[in-house]
Each structure stands twice: as C-alpha cells, then as structure tokens.
Structure 1
C-alpha cells in the first residue's frame, strides 16, 4: 500500500493576528478558514496552497510555554516549500527581499538548493528545489 501524501502542515503561533498577516503576505492570499473551537479554547486559521495543500496556524489555551521555536528541540525541524528548479528558487528569494523577510540566500548542496528563512515565531521555513 503506498504511503499517503501530506495534506497539511499546522504550526503553533504566539500572536495569531500578526502571524496571519505575515503568512498572508508570504502566500499572497487570505485564509480560507478562521475559526475557534470554543469547547477547547483552540483556534486555527488555514491557508489553501497550490496542489491541494493546506497550511494552518494554531493557538492553544494557555499560550506558548516554552518560548520561541527552536529546531534543536525534539519535534519539528523546518517546513520546506517545493520549487520546480533553481530559477524558481531565485524568484522566491527575490520575493522574500521584496517582503523584507531576512533569509540566508540560495544555498546549494548535492541533494538540492534551498533558501532558509523564519516566521515571526522563529519557525524555520525553506524554499527547496531538487538538484539540476
């Protein structure tokens, strides 16, 4: 049986309003869902990305307990968005520059190329292209 594809990624944020604005600029779109689950105090905002993928922003009762994101802790290391090739990757690096989002520039490796950047909670994000 083939393993199913990813359908969505959700990250916990400390300031839902600020993160929603930041991701709306990055994705150049507005959320398709913004709702509270009042029974548990949980809130989620969801963006629809190309290819049928969803990207969610979550808040939880009691807020953030352990500070900003740190990929050195057990759990998520980073989220990578697929680019078809290095040219598309370079266009995304330029788009990050337009948005004023700091990034590490295009880095090449034998397994592909990437541009690393961070969201307002320091969550590690990347645009990634396979090797050419």
Structure 2
C-alpha cells in the first residue's frame, strides 16, 4: 500500500546553553507549557525540554536540548533558519508587540508574510522566531493554549507554524520534500529573498515548509539559539514502518525506527544535510504523567528507570513544579 501523506509538522528541536533561562523564557515570557522534562535519550547527561500547548498535542511541541558547553551560532546556509509559532488572530500580535516592548524582547514590526500577519522576534539566545496569525489560515488546526499561563487565552500560542529552511542547493531539498516525502508546491513569494512554499496533508500554517536558496553563505555552524532538526507527523507506527521501507527502497540512509516512548521516530538527512525526523502522533506525554502534573518532575522512559540515580546526578537541578 502507498504511504499516506504526512499530516504536518510534529515538532522542532533546538539547542540551548542553559535550561533554567530557557525554561523561564518559554514558560514565563511566551506562556508555553512545559509538558515534559526529560533527557536526551542519545545523551542522558543533558535535559530535553518539551514546550507546547496545554497537553503537548502533535504539531505544538518546541523542544530544546541543553548543552552547557555549546558556543554561539554562526548563521549560514543548509539549516533550519526560522521557527514560527501560531496565534489565533491578528489582534494577538498587537498584544505580543506590546508585551515584547514592555519586557525588552528583541522584535521587528508586525508585517505581512505569505498572506499572513506576522511578528518576528528573537529569544535571549538569538533563536530566530516568528509569531504567525491564524486569522486567515485554513488547514491543519492548531492546539489549545495553556490556560494557566500568564498569557490571556485569546492571545496564547497554539502551535507551530511554517518551518523555514535555507539551503545551498534548492533542487536537492525540493526533490526530497516532493519526491520522497510527498509535499506539494503551494506557491512562491518574495520577502527579502524568493521563498518557495511546500505543504502536506490538509495544508495551512501547520503543514508548510518554506525554502530559501542561499548559495553564497557558508554552512551554518550550530550553537545556542540554533535548530537541531524538524519532525513531521505520521499517524502511527504502521505508517512509520511504511516510511522506513520507502526510504530503504530509495537507498536513503536512515536511523531505523527509534522508540522514544512518547512517540516513535525515524531520522534521515536530506542532501543539503538538514536532519529530518518522522514521528508518530502517539502515544503522547500522558503515558507516564497525569495531565495536571505534566512537566513537573524528571520523566524517564521505562528503559532508563534503572539508571535514574546516575542520570539525575549528572543534571543540574531544574525546579519546574507548579
């Protein structure tokens, strides 16, 4: 049977130098909920923090690996160059502009990008971010803002919007998106550069990848404030297995299916070197914590529980209880 279309964006994972400062910005400034405080399963000496809507619905997770020794980011090409976050409407952007002014968050003016009202800004580590209004959006629905945050419900962040890629060879990335992953060309628009838009599933803000070709720059050197990878949504592990078989049949190197406990994953790099992940929608973050207690304690998958004491000893304490 053929592969079903990918549903949309599942999560974006980035790098931070300091988990405490990161937690303060994304929960207290942006009002996201920390739905899982866990560790990088490939290196359990570092935190892996998941920020999202009220319960970490697929398509709302913005995650961070803490690497205390990481250096600065040297921006360039062949990278994920922008992460966007969805809000309900244009009015919400006015709220955020005023909030950023009040607290000294670096930001640009509200402007229209690809037919949507947007507000570009940066976090304390110069992570490249943009708020995107859903007022005119149709397609994959957003999540539900965390009602107990400091942000009024009408203005809260409801998920991830389009992800922007900057690449040195446009045709290589486009071929992967279209011929391998089944994305379709939506349109092209002009910003400071020509941006090519591809979408999957129901389309819309939660299912778009925007691609810029930039040949002149060197490859980006990742550091604090850079993005590690983007993940796309797959319904379940049956579909994920089909994707594994497809990549194998195309002789595309991949990780094989990896059990992440909260979802299953499959990783590969597109030809310009950007790391893509395919991730299942479930089972989700409530598999080991109650909804009301998400993110309050260090959560470890069962296969790490026998090493809990050893893992905790390597981590700096991070207080996240409500």
Please say if 1:126 is aligned against 2:280.
no
1:9-48 superposed matches below 5 A: 9-35=163-189, 37=191, 40=192, 42-48=193-199
1:21-100 superposed matches below 5 A: 21-35=175-189, 37=191, 40=192, 42-52=193-203, 53-60=207-214, 63-65=216-218, 67=219, 73-74=223-224, 75-100=226-251
Name the TM-score, length of structure 1 as normaliser: 0.79
Shift of 1:106: 0.4
Counterpart secondary structure, 1:4 = strand
Q: Retained in 2: the 8 A contact 1:20–1:45?
A: no
Report how many aligned residue pairs link the two structures.
125
Unaligned 5+ segments in structure 1 are none
Distance 2:182 2:262 in 1: 29
Distance 2:169 2:212 in 1: 10
Counterpart secondary structure, 1:120 = coil
Counterpart secondary structure, 2:194 = strand
The counterpart of 1:3, out of the listed 157, 174, 179, is: 157
Unaligned 5+ segments in structure 2 are 1-152, 285-322
Post-superposition, which runs of at least 4 consecutive aligned residues in structure 1 deviate over 4 A? none
Distance 1:79 1:131 in 2: 19
Shift of 1:122: 1.1
Distance 2:194 2:251 in 1: 28
Q: CA RMSD in A?
A: 2.3
Q: Retained in 1: the 8 A contact 2:167–2:272?
A: yes
Shift of 1:115: 0.4
Q: Retained in 2: the 8 A contact 1:11–1:58?
A: yes
Structure having the higher Rg: 2
Distance 1:17 1:36 in 2: 18
Shift of 1:110: 2.1
Distance 1:86 1:104 in 2: 15
Q: Retained in 1: the 8 A contact 2:182–2:200?
A: no
Distance 2:174 2:274 in 1: 14
Counterpart secondary structure, 1:78 = strand
Distance 1:64 1:93 in 2: 33
